[in-house]
Amino acid sequence: MNALFLGLGSIGQRHLRNLSKIDNKIKLFAVRKKYFTPNLNKKNQAVKTDIKKKYKITYFKSLEELYSSQIKIDLAFICTPSIYHVDEAISLIKRNINVFIEKPLGSSLKNISKLTNLIKSKKNIKHMMGYQLKFNPIILKLKKILDKNTIGNIWHVNIHHGENINDFHPYEDYRHSYAARKDLGGGVVLCQIHELDYLLFLFEKYKIKIINSYSKKLTDLHINVEDTFVSSIQISKRNKKALCNIHLNFYEKPKKRIIEILGEKGKISCNLNTGEIFIFNEKKIKKIEFKFDRNDVFKKQVKYFLDSIKNNKKIDQRYDVLNGIKSLSLALNLKKNK
């Protein structure tokens, strides 16, 4: 099999390392126009290793140069800045190449209809989004707890994700990262879109209604995108309504990533950073602890994608690109609903 990487930044190199561990017989190709990101190890630390030699990667300067080579590509990882994702996906799928697209799907809805129609016409093509939290055992356990109606009807959900942009990539100046730049699709809403995606995943049977939202740059960070986002969303099912509050930011230290859910029979508190879920129910407290290597979640995701291709299995619709459109649409609606 031949695998293509569009972009070898932090996430591209992570997928490259994991794919090579899963199947070291896969031949690797990459389109790499710029070399801003150094070669990284699994801890995201810059190393002197020559990534091209280590993984025997064949480089191309553009997709057009790759297509001209007539090399058959079986699967591609789109790991470029988000503004390029949709057009790159369209180009690859047209040539019957299975695609894995890093989140978010894009920074606007431009050409989304074109991509949707193409996907629906290419039924044999596998397509998947890079929302690895849906492979995270903490999120999966939380979903099981909710699906069992452990705390009864849901009344309130609080989601908080704050992390300092300086800590994202220790090897680079945050000012040059895509997260800090409007022209590359940055900003806290799209960069931390995982929170919106797992909200849709955890409450997939609920209807979503935006009540209000606020996104703005409040700090003196050298960025031209929003660093703060707060929103209130109504989720409802069978005439039962709940309020969901979401807070995202680019400046919090120490970082904080929690989900709190209040219901008629108790409360669930989930900490994604410490790996803990607390269930408070009828004066009892149950603690569930998770210990796992963070990279294992990314590895499971890539393995799922690769197995789907090798065994011609349909990608679960909760993981595919059409589902990624839902997350992107919600994010963009929240950004404009000021």
Tens digits of per-residue pLDDT, 5-60? Answer: 999 999 999 999 999 999 999 999 999 877 678 888 888 888 888 899 999 999 99
- Averaged over 59-88, what is the pLDDT? 97
Structure token digits, residue 113? 């209809």
- Spell out where 205-297 has E strands: 207-216, 228-237, 240-249, 256-263, 266-271, 276-281, 284-289
Say what the pLDDT of residue 338 is: 58
What pTM was computed for the model? 0.95
**pLDDT bucket at 306, cuts 50 / 70 / 90:** very high
What's the confidence (pLDDT) of residue 23? 98
* Average pLDDT across the chain, whole number: 95
253-263: average pLDDT: 98
> CB-hemisphere CA count at 13 Å for 267?
9
- Three-state DSSP at 319 gives coil
Average pLDDT over residues 258-266: 97
User: Is pLDDT of 239 > 80?
Assistant: yes
User: What are the tens digits of pLDDT across the range 141-198?
Assistant: 999 999 999 999 999 999 999 999 999 988 889 998 999 999 999 999 999 999 999 9
Q: How far is residue 89's CA from residue 118's CA, in Å, rounded to a whole number? A: 10
**Model pLDDT, residue 38:** 83
Q: Please report the pLDDT score of residue 37 as a whole number.
A: 83
Distance CA(94)–CA(89), nearest Å, equals 8
pLDDT at position 36 = 72
Write out pLDDT tens, residues 128-154.
Answer: 999 999 999 999 999 999 999 999 999
Tokens 């800045």 belong to which residue?
81
pLDDT, residue 35, reads: 66
